[in-house]
Amino acid sequence: MTRLFGRIRRFRRAFVLLAVIGPGLITSNADNDAGGIATYSQAGAQFGYQMLWILVAVTVSLAVVNEMGARMGVVTGKGLADLIRERFGVRRTTFAMALLLFANAFTTVAEFAGIAAGLELFGVPRFVSVPAAAAVIWLLVVRGSYPVVEKVLLSITVVYVTYVISGFLAHPPWPEVLRSSVVPHVVPRRDFVLLAIALIGTTVTPWMQFYLQAAVADKGIPNEHLAYSQTEVVAGAFVTDFVDFFIIIATAAALFGHLSSAQLGSMQAGDFARALEPAAGQAATALFAVGLVGASVLAGSVVPLSTAYAVTEAFGWERGVGRDLGEAPAFFGIFTGLLAIGTAAVMIPGLPLVTLILLSQEANGIILPAILIFMLVLLNDRRIMGRHVNGRLANTVAGLTVAVLIGLTLILLVASLPGSPLSG
């Protein structure tokens, strides 16, 4: 009998965990978007395995920050933008939303650039692939319910296994990979600092904090299931960065030392997939391209959706995937507007898409400290969080993330000055 009750308890725990799965995995995996893939590929191709230790360190930050967002969403039942408005007022909320809109407009363009680049490898022109993808995403979100949208987005995350396979097909030197993962190495150059900011900014993004908390609140996860939600978002952080780890490995093994600075500067995410073929084979190229398309479709849904949630929450407007167009015009208007911007920008001939993609990640890295400071103030306020306020570990990790990003930004500014030793 005791054994039977033990099995029932284990089954119940597993059932509850399955019930709360969604926000953490979708948010973390959507972070592996076209901009993320381009950034991780650039890190591997330009610096080999030297940035792996940064990814390992920032994974801890991602897990801690996502746990904070999920905890705040479960305990308060509100999104991050909602809480920022209530705690800091309309003026500071408007400032936060302006930062978010700026970064997310660039990021949405990056997602559709990824769709175009990935499908062009299979012979589909962007003038067909991009409008078709935008139409499918629009119909899914505007006509679907939250459970349907969540299931579709979760199913897309399966494509990320393609990057792990590509990494193994590239046959990297595993002892060097492991050493670079734990031994810090800094290259005293401006491009290394800029890429480090982009890598952090594409791993822990401002938009994902707004989407994660809004999705948790929208799902209505009760306080007694908080531990399950925390488990899901932490697991999601480690799963997504496991994939990123192999993106860097694949491109480092195949491309490091074989491309000039000019070639690296002109490559798009799809070009990295194509360049893998001589070293890793046609299968790795195809897998990388499939992953790029799936990742871009997922993030092309989530980034505009997160923006719509954040802005409408911030100003108290009706919102939610389950609403009708007439019930939440601002919510669906913002979502549709960002899809239109992303689609139109990719159609412009000669637009430097790779530059826009990397700029979006650098913008995320520079904006992120402001969003994290808002979160830290909220999470240490007992009037909001009660007994679930931040502990010492969460405050330390999030505070270090803010300090490192601000420090890197200051170093970047110094490196931009004429005659700086880092200007090379």
pLDDT tens string 373-399:
888 899 898 988 888 888 888 888 888
Give the model's pLDDT for residue 260: 59
**Locate tokens 């167009």: which residue?**
325
> CA 68 to CA 398: how far, in whole Å?
9
> CA 383 to CA 112: how far, in whole Å?
42
- Contact between 309 and 157 (Cβ < 8 Å): no
Mean pLDDT score across all residues of the chain = 75
All domains of the chain, ordered by start, with CATH? 25-415 (1.20.1740.10)
Inter-helix orientation angle 126-143/282-314, to 10° = 40
Residues near 261 by beta carbon (within 8 Å), at least 6 away in sequence: none
More confident residue, 44 or 414: 44
- Answer yes or no: is pLDDT of 278 > 60: no
Among 235, 207, 193, 401, CA closest to 308: 207
Give the model's pLDDT for residue 304: 85
pLDDT confidence bin for 84, thresholds 50/70/90: confident
Among 188, 189, 172, CA closest to 180: 172
- Answer yes or no: is pLDDT of 133 > 70: yes
Inter-helix orientation angle 80-88/90-120, to 10° = 160
pLDDT tens readout for residues 165-200: 777 877 888 999 999 998 888 887 878 887 888 788
Measuring CA to CA, how many Å separate 389 from each of 17, 69, 186, 195, 379?
23, 12, 35, 34, 5
Average pLDDT rounded to a whole number, residues 394-419: 73
Is the model's pTM score more than 0.75?
A: no
Give the model's pLDDT for residue 49: 92
Alpha helix segments (H runs only) across 77-145: 80-88, 90-120, 126-143
Give the model's pLDDT for residue 403: 83
In this structure, of 116-120, 127-131, 175-179, the range with the lowest mean pLDDT score is 116-120
pLDDT confidence bin for 13, thresholds 50/70/90: very low
Among 366, 353, 371, CA closest to 35: 353
More confident residue, 413 or 163: 163
